[in-house]
Copies of this chain bind each other. A is one copy, B any other.
């Protein structure tokens, strides 16, 4: 049988609890659909710093490299915030992206009907919003040379933003491919009126665009995009952009849906391998109380099924189960209007499993 290996990195804060519910969904998928998964846990993030002295231990990386996919909870917390760079959870995150060649981060910003009211945007503005941000994940100012030096006016700090044609081309092509499976509209976001990397970016986009005549392409400046996301969110289909702009815009897009506790993400490289994680963070303030919302992580499993394994039947089963449970009125505290009616993490996981 074709056993899929999944590396499971619970991480910090609510990470392990929400991942626990996602694992129940994996098990149920085996029963229902006959697929087989082999899961193995490893330390990552703050807990790895505590136990192994590094946020990304070698054995964790090796486990991921041998796996078909990675399921990640969340990393980070105040405990490690003031550590030196090598001993911070986010350094592990950047390290794992680079080491696994995960050059593309895909974040659907979907509005869940039952959560429309949770958005700070007016419902009529939000109506029909369903966009995906495709963010370049292993280049740009995140990974360029950084250093301090003595300048003419005292100490100075330097970050370098670098992109080569090939790096831009692969992410842009992926974004066009995704647009072809959806609304066939692509917004490429840059700051070509200021940055050289953005001018290179735009050249490559225009060149690749020729291969996708069916896709309607627009170039949007990053400052303007930050505005248009607020003004006309539903007019976007796929947004593609570089690492730093993607960090900012994908968070803005996620927040405007009002559904941030529900959003999943995929980080992909060449081939079908991918790392899947909820968009929300480790929420250390509510960790261990059994009240966190496992839906984003459960939907990350559905995304894994679609993008890495091609198990569309099982993905659909999960997505519909989530929808049915929500439609039946069940809510965790973060999305409940009446907090006194809120159910806990495991109750939500159990309901979804039962609805599959």
Contact = CB atoms under 8 A, between A and B. Distances in A.
Contact of A153 (B90, B121, B165, B193): B165
A200 B251 contact: no
Contacts of A144: 158
Contact of A161 (B158, B165, B166, B226): B158
A157 B252 contact: no
Nearest to A154: B165
Contacts of A197: 157-159
Interface of A: 88, 90, 94, 120-122, 125, 141-142, 144, 146-148, 151, 153-167, 191, 193-197, 199-201, 222-224, 226-227, 230-231, 244-245, 247-252, 254-256, 260
Nearest to A155: B165
Given A156-B163, A156-B165, A142 B248 contact: no
A251 B154 CA distance: 32
A165 B151 CA distance: 10
Contact of A255 (B165, B227, B251): B227
Contact of A196 (B146, B201, B254, B256): B146
Given A148-B200, A156-B165, 17 more contacts: A88-B193, A141-B195, A147-B196, A148-B196, A151-B162, A156-B163, A156-B164, A157-B201, A158-B196, A159-B197, A191-B244, A223-B247, A223-B248, A227-B251, A227-B252, A230-B256, A231-B255
Nearest to A230: B255
A154 B146 contact: no
Contact of A163 (B157, B252, B254): B157
Nearest to A226: B252
* Copies of this protein chain in the complex: 2
A107 to B, nearest CB: 12
Contacts of A223: 247-248, 250-251
Contacts of A146: 195-196
Contacts of A245: 248
A99 B319 CA distance: 57
Contacts of A141: 141, 159, 161, 194-195
Nearest to A120: B125
20 contacts: A88-B193, A90-B193, A141-B194, A141-B195, A142-B194, A148-B200, A154-B165, A154-B166, A156-B162, A156-B165, A157-B162, A157-B199, A157-B200, A158-B162, A160-B160, A222-B247, A223-B247, A226-B248, A226-B251, A231-B255
